Structure 1
Amino acid sequence: MEKIRLSNNLEMSRIIHGHWRLMDWKLSNEELLKFVEEVYELGITTIDHADIYGNFCCEEKFGESLNLKKGLREKLQIVTKCGIKFPSINRPENKSHCYDTSSEHIIKSVERSLKNFKTDYLDLVLIHRVDPLLNPEEVAEAFKKLKSQGKVRNFGVSNFLPAQFNMLNSYLDNELVTNQIEVSPLNLEHFENGTLDLMLEKRVKPMAWSPLAGGKIFKGEDEASLRVRKALNNVKEEVGATDIDEVVYAWILMHPSKIMPIVGSGNIERIKGAVRATELKLTKDQWFEIYVAGRGIDIP
């Protein structure tokens, strides 16, 4: 598995395993540990989390499983996010659905994540969403303190547009190392709004969430889904892929910014498919067939 260097102390696997739906997998701690080890054996060493996943339960569940095997944590890169709040039985102090990127909240969230994961450091922490009240001086203060304490080694953002990324970056002592954005053949927004261009300019390697468009590439019945599925099936036959999700991952991996797709499946066979995709090579004709299907109109 190819490793992608994000900073002088962080390399991540080209394919990332996402744990957004971890609680839906209904695994015991022992079963989850075995699953994580199977994923690791495939070369996937980076695990993506967020404090809110699983109604604020996924981090703790993962930490309990990881704690069953000493030494495994040091072989993994743990990514988590903070900044979103919503009312929950697991967070009774949250009064409403809002964003909070205050220094106090970032630090409190990281402290809780460290406790949940049963670790003394996090490899990468992201601001989960753009907060319209984001004060970059407060974010910079929190990042500086957490890094100086050795609690967080690297920082990034998620769902930031170019101006927002540059604005926050300008306040930081250590630059942002990634932007986790939605990328799929059914979501071409960041090919067209300058985000991926900025990632290339800054030599920042992006992460891609929902690369399968929440399953719409398999089951969507809208016009765009049908167009894209037809194109993916055409290319699947041409390259000899097992299924169309492998074609999607190969399509994303072809972009020169070195996008790292997040595979959020609890099915080991689906994860193996994503790994196989790293060996698939699409032609430009095949890549643009999928791209144009996603656009719905030909390129100019």
Structure 2
Amino acid sequence: MTTPDRLDTPLLLGMMRLNDYPELADPQGLLGFIERCVERGLTAFDHADIYGLGHCESQFGAALRLQPALRQRLTVIGKADIVLKPQDRSRWQVKHYDTSAAYLRRAVEGSLERLGIERLDGFLVHRPDPLMQVEDLARTLEALQAEGKIGWLGLSNADPLHWRLLGEALPLRCNQIELSLMAQDAAWDGRLQTMQAEGLQALAWSPFAGGRFPAGLQQALANVADALGATPNQVALAWIRRLPGAPVPILGSLRWSRVEEALAGASLALDTQAWFYLAEAARGVEAP
């Protein structure tokens, strides 16, 4: 089975918190932000149907409608299968996952309508579903591809057995995982090497751990930043890129100053000792 090409970008921009930025609430303001990103070579935008209960997609779509030609320069990624409590129409009102054909078709078509586009360039299964029927899911995704509604495929938060099962039926490009100095497990348990060996590109969500770096780690980041003439945030992203497969960080902040800072540090490289120094500062223990 042919492995799809890698996403060639220094960063992805995550749209989960789009509603948190008043300056981007106006379609014209968001359009200007998107255009600035494209000018800097940042063209991949990571969406999901649950972000803002669909409002983030609608907001992004309203901006694109002001400049339809811009769509051709963007990579728009969508995700689905998580159903939050407010979206559950059953009597149980429970968060759950749904990889049924009927649900995924409604989710994809809903995302396309809100975004005002004809196709998601990439589509990811958002969370492993314990009730997933692999053959049914594969047929559903193949049908959506054949209809031109989705492009390449990937997974999010998947472990090896999950991606191997679906990968036997479909070519998968990537797997989004939580990865940061505060979420290091994939760096130590072999998942990243396995993904690299099996042709899956790693995309790292929450690369700054939601801003929850403890004081000791913040000081270690500052020490390395001073030594390299960089900023602590640039160093934290470089720590991720130093890992096998050079994972691509998904930036959750949409402040333009944070985006520029991240782009300016995209070529920063850490040596082995600096990587382990930071890993130890975050974990609180030496390497095994």
Residue 240 of structure 2 is aligned to residue 215 of structure 1 = no
1:247 maps to: 235
- Give TM-score, length-normalised by structure 1: 0.90
CA distance in 2, matches of 1:132, 1:227: 38
> Which position in structure 1 is the counterpart of 2:171?
175
Contact 2:154 2:174 in 1 (8 A): yes
Say if 2:226 is the partner of 1:237.
yes
Distance 2:88 2:131 in 1: 23
Q: Is the 8 A contact 1:186 1:228 kept in 2?
A: no
SS in 1 for 2:212: helix
Cα separation, 2, equivalents of 1:189 and 1:104: 35
Which residue of 1 is the match for residue 194 of structure 2? 198
Could you tell me how far 1:55 is from its partner in structure 2? Answer: 2.4
Aligned residues: 282
**Equivalent residue of 2:172, what SS?**
coil
Which residue in the other structure is 1:277 paired with? 265
The corresponding residue for 1:103 is 101
Give me the whole-angstrom Cα distance separating, in 2, the residues matched to 1:277 and 1:135: 42
Give how far 1:37 is off.
1.0
Provide closer, same or farther for how the CA distance between residues 51 and 259 of structure 1 changes in structure 2, counting only shifts above 3 A. Answer: same
Give the alignment's TM-score, normalised by structure 2.
0.93
Unpaired segments ≥5 residues, structure 1: 1-5, 218-224
Give me the identity figure in percent. Answer: 34
Contact in 2 for aligned 1:12/1:45 (Cα 8 Å): no
> CA 1:83 to 1:267, structure 2 compared with 1: closer, same or farther past 3 Å?
same
Confirm whether residue 186 of structure 1 aligns to residue 182 of structure 2.
yes
Deviations 1:126-166 (A, max 9, x none): 11111111111121011110111111111111001111111
* One-letter amino acid of the counterpart of residue 295, structure 1: R
Matched residue of 1:206: which SS?
A: strand
**1:209 deviation in Å?**
0.3
Following superposition, the deviation at residue 193 of structure 1 comes to: 2.8
| Matches of 1:294 and 1:185, distance apart in 2 | 6
Structure 2: distance between partners of 1:203 and 1:96: 35
Give the superposition deviation at 1:192: 2.3
Q: Distance in 2 between matches of 1:236 and 1:82?
A: 38
* Maintained 8 Å contact 1:187/1:294: no
Mapped contact 1:12–1:46 kept (Cα < 8 A): no
The match for 2:133 is: 135
1:60 paired to 2:48:
no
Amino acid at match of 1:152: I
* Structure 1 runs of 4+ with >3 Å offset: 91-95
3-state SS of the aligned residue for 1:13?
coil
Amino acid at match of 2:66: L
How many angstroms apart in 2 are the aligned matches of 1:59 and 1:110? 12
CA distance in 2, matches of 1:105, 1:193: 34
3-state SS of 1:197 partner: helix
Distance (Å, rounded) in 2 between the aligned partners of 1:130 and 1:67:
33
Q: CA deviation at 1:92?
A: 6.7
User: In structure 2, what is the Cα distance between the partners aligned to 1:76 and 1:62?
Assistant: 12
- What letter matches 1:238 in structure 2? A
How many Å apart are 1:264 and its aligned residue?
Answer: 1.3
- Decide whether the 8 Å contact of 1:162 with 1:194 is kept in 2: no
Aligned match of 2:216 in 221, 227, 230? 227
Question: Which deviates more, 29-38 or 254-263?
Answer: 254-263
Aligned partner (choices 249, 260, 275) of residue 287 of structure 1 = 275
Q: Secondary structure at the match of 2:76?
A: strand
Instruction: Give the distance between the partners of 1:177 and 1:244, measured in 2 at CA.
Output: 30
Give 3-state SS (helix, strand or coil) of 1:50's partner: coil
How far apart, CA to CA, are the structure 2 residues paired with 1:69 and 1:32? 11
Amino acid at match of 1:160: A
1:85 corresponds to: 83
